[in-house]
């Protein structure tokens, strides 16, 4: 038995579990692979450079956590673990994934974010029970079109890669609730996004889009929409239909106006339209009674939107770096306000009620 290590599994949440995380391990003790009833093995946050092929002995393994190590590859034997449902290997140095994923028919969660992957084996998309797939912060240039086979997928995150297009099959994933494709190189988005009727969160920030994908405003369950840092010059028509929206980011674009429908979103809590070319703000902001954060800095506004001082839940307001010469009265009504940024304007005095 490895000196100083407790290799006695415990029953946690009904599963036979061995926790070897945060132990400074450079290798997994060979004795571990003799515990053939093991269901959960956690070797995360160590200094492992490899997982031996003998892991194939753990045929009852339900969950493997090997994130936060220095792995450059995974053993082929991973594909023999037919009871595996959760595989976390994020934050390593993986440049490829082994063949054999098609045998993992019970796999529900696969997290390979923060590695050096340049491609994904198409056989991963034979794991038909996959519900959560996260591969952000890699070096992926494409997503295999067979992604459409993952009909149970609810969470797909491929932010921070080098994608130039999103596979059309993504729009056929009718159970998808969260889709992240931010910080890629997308200039277009496939047609059919309106089919994702269960989608709650959509992240398409940090790309090269010149328009919001048609159909986005036909997603009735959308709560979070972030398409900041693109090349949009026109705002999405029909945004007022997104009645469940709580978080809207359209910052860092080339917009000259805020969509008029924004002020008809009763559940909106965060709105960011900073760093655009806005000179006006649509009337009716006082209707956003749940708004907590409003960011409109780095624009060309000459006045603060009328009605801002009637927002009872406002906590943060940033109107810095505009062309404001006055501030509307009533700021003292904002009892929950914690941050007010008004620097880099043309104000000659502090707004009445601030002090």
Domain ranges of the chain: 1-132
169: helix, strand or coil: helix
Q: What is the mean pLDDT of the chain?
A: 94
Q: Residue 240: phi, psi to the nearest 5?
A: -65, -15
Mean pLDDT computed over 37-62:
97
pLDDT tens digit string along 95-113?
Answer: 999 888 889 999 999 999 9
- 10-12 vs 15-19, strand pairing mode: antiparallel
pLDDT of 274 reads: 97
CA dist., res. 246 & res. 255, Å (int): 21
CATH 3.30.360.10 fits 1-132, yes or no: no
pLDDT tens digit string along 278-336?
Answer: 999 988 999 999 999 999 999 999 999 889 999 999 999 999 999 999 888 888 889 99
pLDDT of 254 reads: 95
Mean pLDDT computed over 137-154:
94
Token pair of 11, please?
Answer: 């029953």
Q: Can you spell out the DSSP letters for 163-217? A: -SS--GGGGG-TT--EEE--SS--S---TTGGG-TT--EEE--SS--SSPPTTGG
pLDDT of 1 reads: 39
pLDDT tens digit string along 173-188?
Answer: 999 999 999 999 999 9
Q: Read off the DSSP letter of residue 148.
A: G
- Please, which pLDDT band fits residue 273 given cuts at 50, 70 and 90? very high
Closest CA to 282 of 315, 242, 239, 325: 239
CA dist., res. 95 & res. 100, Å (int): 16
- State yes or no: pLDDT of 156 exceeds 50: yes
pLDDT tens digit string along 196-249?
Answer: 999 999 999 999 999 988 899 999 999 999 999 999 998 878 999 999 999 999
- State yes or no: pLDDT of 128 exceeds 50: yes
């Amino acid at each position: 038995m490895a000196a100083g290590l407790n290799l006695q599994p415990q029953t946690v949440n009904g599963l036979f579990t061995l926790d070897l995380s945060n132990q400074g391990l450079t290798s997994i003790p060979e004795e571990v692979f003799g515990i053939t009833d093991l269901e959960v093995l956690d070797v995360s946050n160590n200094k492992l450079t490899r997982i031996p092929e003998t892991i194939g002995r753990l045929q009852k393994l339900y969950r493997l956590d090997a994130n936060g190590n220095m792995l450059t590859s995974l053993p082929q034997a991973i594909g023999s673990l037919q009871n595996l449902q959760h595989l976390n290997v994020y934050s390593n140095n993986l440049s490829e994934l082994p063949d054999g994923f098609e045998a993992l028919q019970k796999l529900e969660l696969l997290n390979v974010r923060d590695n050096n992957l340049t491609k994904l084996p198409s056989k991963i998309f034979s794991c038909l029970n996959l519900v959560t797939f996260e591969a952000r912060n890699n070096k992926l240039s494409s997503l295999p079109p067979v992604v459409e086979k993952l009909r149970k997928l609810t969470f797909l995150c491929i932010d921070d890669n080098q994608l130039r297009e999103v596979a059309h099959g993504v729009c056929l994933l009718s159970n998808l609730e969260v889709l992240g494709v931010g910080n890629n190189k997308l200039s277009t988005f496939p047609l059919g996004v309106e089919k994702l009727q269960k989608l709650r969160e959509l992240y398409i920030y940090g790309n090269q889009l010149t328009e919001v994908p048609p159909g986005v405003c036909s997603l009735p369950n959308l709560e979070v929409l972030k398409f900041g840092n693109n090349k949009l010059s026109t705002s999405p028509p029909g945004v007022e239909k997104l009645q469940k929206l709580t978080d809207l980011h359209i910052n860092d674009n080339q917009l000259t106006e805020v969509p008029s429908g924004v002020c008809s979103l009763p559940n909106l809590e965060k709105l960011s339209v900073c760093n655009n070319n806005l000179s006006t703000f649509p009337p009716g902001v006082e209707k956003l009674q749940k708004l907590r954060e409003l960011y409109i800095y780095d624009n060309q506004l000459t006045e603060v939107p009328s009605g801002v001082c009637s927002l009872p839940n406002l906590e943060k307001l940033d109107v810095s770096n505009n062309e404001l010469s006055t501030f509307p009265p009533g700021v003292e009504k904002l009892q929950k306000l914690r941050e007010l940024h008004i620097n880099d304007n043309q104000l000659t005095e502090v707004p009445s009620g601030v002090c």
